[in-house]
Amino acid sequence: MNKSQFLTILRKKLSSLPQKERKELMEDYEHHYVFGQNAGKTEEEISAELGDPYEIAAELLAEYNRNRPTGNQNNGSRIMACIGLFILNFVVCVVPLGLSIWAAWLSLFASSVIIILSPFLALFDFLQNDYFGSSKLFATITLSGVGIMMAIGLFSLGALLKKVTVSYINWNMSIVRGGK
Amino acid sequence: MDIHIQFKKGALELCVLVLIHRKPCYGFELAQQVSQYIQVAEGALYPLLRRLVTEGHCSTYLQESNEGPPRKYYLLTPEGEQYMNAMIEEWDKFVTSVSKLLKDGAADE
């Protein structure tokens, strides 16, 4: 690769940088060639020593963006992102929908706890009213078994809901931060 | 191979700091000096020098030259010197620890 090939690639890849920055950087590399040639090297030798222009450009861009974290995400687009999320969250009802799903889950969970405990409630009933009904006891024990199965199902459903909720919240955060 | 490159990049910063601490250098000169010790893509020097300047570890001045373009010299600021010393200390600790690890491993075998 000769000097002009190297510099052309670099200039093209750095086109997103502000004029002044780009000019300074290009000068650094152009001068490097001149100094190298004065020291008796060929353009090809100097290019080989410099390394891959694509890689150098990538590094320079990364360097530039690191110093200006808000540079490519101005406040205007950030506000737009917030408004968009607000509409999605409240007008399109993602939040109310999510909350009601969670409420349904919670109430199902509460009822499963109650029916798991129903044999004890039956015993309490017998003690309180001073009588014993075996059919009532067996019915509540059956119910308790159903409750345990229900609770197991609800646990995995809850884990799934939690995952969805967390990733939805993270997605919101990443959009506000400048979603990359 | 890639690990190797990352490795060198990290070391390059320290080398550059030490070299311009010895005496102010311009980019090409620095590249020649570094190449005497480690094989590295010299093009990576300029992004590095740029960062050292923006972080305040280095400052630059231009010197006209009879042959060729003006030379941009880099020199260490007082903050840069502190940074360099801290980095040398870190480096020594790191190298000692890794060598120790390698030696301990060899003794087990």
Residue boundaries of the structural domains of chain B: 2-108
A3 part of contact set with chain B, CB < 8 Å: no
A55 part of contact set with chain B, CB < 8 Å: yes
More confident residue, A133 or A7: A7
Q: What is the mean pLDDT of residues A22-32?
A: 90
Q: Identify the CA nearest to B84 among candidates B8, B11, B21.
A: B21
Closest residue in B to A34 (Cα–Cα): B68
pLDDT tens-digit profile of A87-138? 777 767 777 888 899 999 999 999 999 889 888 888 888 888 888 888 888 8
Give the separation between CA B43 and CA A102, rounded to whole angstroms.
56
Q: What is the mean pLDDT of residues A1-16?
A: 90
pLDDT tens-digit profile of B26-83? 989 999 999 888 888 888 898 889 889 989 999 999 988 787 788 999 999 999 999 9
What's the pLDDT at B1?
A: 46
What's the pLDDT at A68?
A: 63
What's the pLDDT at A153?
A: 93
A50 part of contact set with chain B, CB < 8 Å: yes
Burial class from Cβ neighbours inside 10 Å (0-12, 13-18, 19+) for residue A30 reads: middle
- Provide the percentage of residues in chain A whose pLDDT is more than 70: 92
Query: Given 1.50.10.10, 3.40.50.170, 1.10.10.10, 2.120.10.70, which CATH number is that of B2-108?
Result: 1.10.10.10
Q: Which amino acid is at A90?
A: F
Residues A6, A49 contacting (CB under 8 angstroms): no
Of B32, B42, B68, the CB nearest to A51: B42
What's the pLDDT at B66?
A: 80
